[in-house]
Amino acid sequence: MLTKSSRVTTKAFEEATGWEFKPQGACKGDVCIPLDMPTEDTIDVVTTASAMGLPVVEDEDHGFIAIGPESVGNRALTSALAPEIELPDLDGNPFRLSSLRGQKVIVYAWAPY
């Protein structure tokens, strides 16, 4: 996830990273990283990410904080449950992959270069 603010709402953090705060920790699918539940509506991004073992890169010149993905299972996927992916179409309308539940889906990655 990318942010220019050192504090974000827990909801924004959950949506951007795919990790959900639960009593047992930060969870994705069946995998949980032990963590104290946030007690406020907002959290410190760097502190939380570091406590979860997520990589943090800061660019102080331009004010960006980038949080990388987890590597807990040493694989790109920690769960076979497809992550929620929301991306825009050509007109900027957001589309959620989960809206296709009930169909088989092939997600095809291409690039114009």
Partner 1 sequence: MWQALRDELHPQGLELVTVGLDTLGAEGCRRFMEAAEPTHPALIDQYHLLARTLGVINIPSAVWIDEQGMIVRPAEPAPAPPRDKPQSAPTELPPGMPDRIVGMMTEAAKIPSDPQTYHDALRDWVDKGAQSGFAMSPEQVIARSRPRDEHVALGHAHFELASALELEGHHDAAIRHFRRAHELVPDSWTFRRQAWSLEPGPEGPLQRFWQGPADDDPASWPYEGDWLGDVRKVGAENYNEPFKP
Measured from the CB atom, the residue of 24 and 83 that comes closer to partner 1 is 83
**Nearest one of 72, 70, 47 to 36, comparing CA atoms:** 47
Q: Which residues face 66 on adjacent strands?
A: 2, 57
Min CB(39)–partner 1 separation in Å: 26
- Tell me how far CA of residue 2 lies from CA of 8, 14, 15, 16, 112, in angstroms: 11, 13, 12, 8, 24
User: Minimal distance in Å, beta carbon 36 to partner 1?
Assistant: 22
Tokens of 74: 């040493």
**Which of positions 40-79 make contact with partner 1 (CB under 8 A)?**
53-57, 59, 61-62, 64, 66-71, 73-79
Q: Which residues bind partner 1 (CB under 8 A)?
A: 1-2, 18, 53-57, 59, 61-62, 64, 66-71, 73-83, 85, 87-90, 92, 95, 97-98, 100-113
